[in-house]
Amino acid sequence: MPETLTQDQIAFYQESGYLVLENQIPDSWMHRIRTEISRFEDEAALLNESNDRLDLEDSHTKHAPRLRRIKLPHTISNDLKELMLSDYILGPARDLIGPNLRLHTSKLNAVPFQLGLSAFKCINRHISQQVQVPRCFSLLMFTLPDGVGAFGR
């Protein structure tokens, strides 16, 4: 029996390869994540080039910072790790591919938005079932400013 998704949602995902889940992540979580994103944007503003934590856009300067990606956010942010391991993310994933999930890697992509500001665009998680022959599954979760989320493979 599905944990969070309806049979219709699961069928739609299996047929279409994506699923939109409106208001999947509560406003309180969105605030926490936006705060974390701002913290990483501030860190990027101090850099001249990408490092092991942050990828910068080619157009990045200290005066006009451009954050492209936060590398392995689950290892450098407790809030992002907590969200990634929460039922908001894992509940639908378990419904789609089963209960035995393992986090392989993560990244949080920022997309240029409104005069060079970065907007939280997506969390890309690679998870697989732990079965005899592990099946890889890339879970993309897009979260838009209005809280709409979408899962895709």
Higher-pLDDT residue of 23 and 44 is 44
% the chain with pLDDT above 90 = 24
Higher-pLDDT residue of 14 and 76 is 76
Q: Is residue 1 part of a domain?
A: no
With bands split at pLDDT 50, 70 and 90, how would you rate the model's confidence at 151?
low
Q: Is residue 2 part of a domain?
A: no
pLDDT tens-digit series, residues 15-35: 887 787 877 888 898 889 888
Mean pLDDT score of the chain, rounded to an integer? Answer: 74
Pair 56, 68: CB distance under 8 Å: yes
Q: Is residue 68 part of a domain?
A: yes
Q: Is residue 65 part of a domain?
A: yes
Q: How many domains does the chain have?
A: 1
pLDDT at residue number 137: 39
pLDDT at residue number 142: 45
Q: What span, in angstroms and rounded, lies between the C-alpha atoms of 79 and 73?
A: 9
Q: Helices 7-16 and 87-97, interaxial angle, to 10°?
A: 70
Higher-pLDDT residue of 130 and 16 is 16
| Residues spanned by the domain of 82 | 7-152
- Whether residue 6 has pLDDT greater than 90: yes
CATH number at residue 60: 2.60.120.620
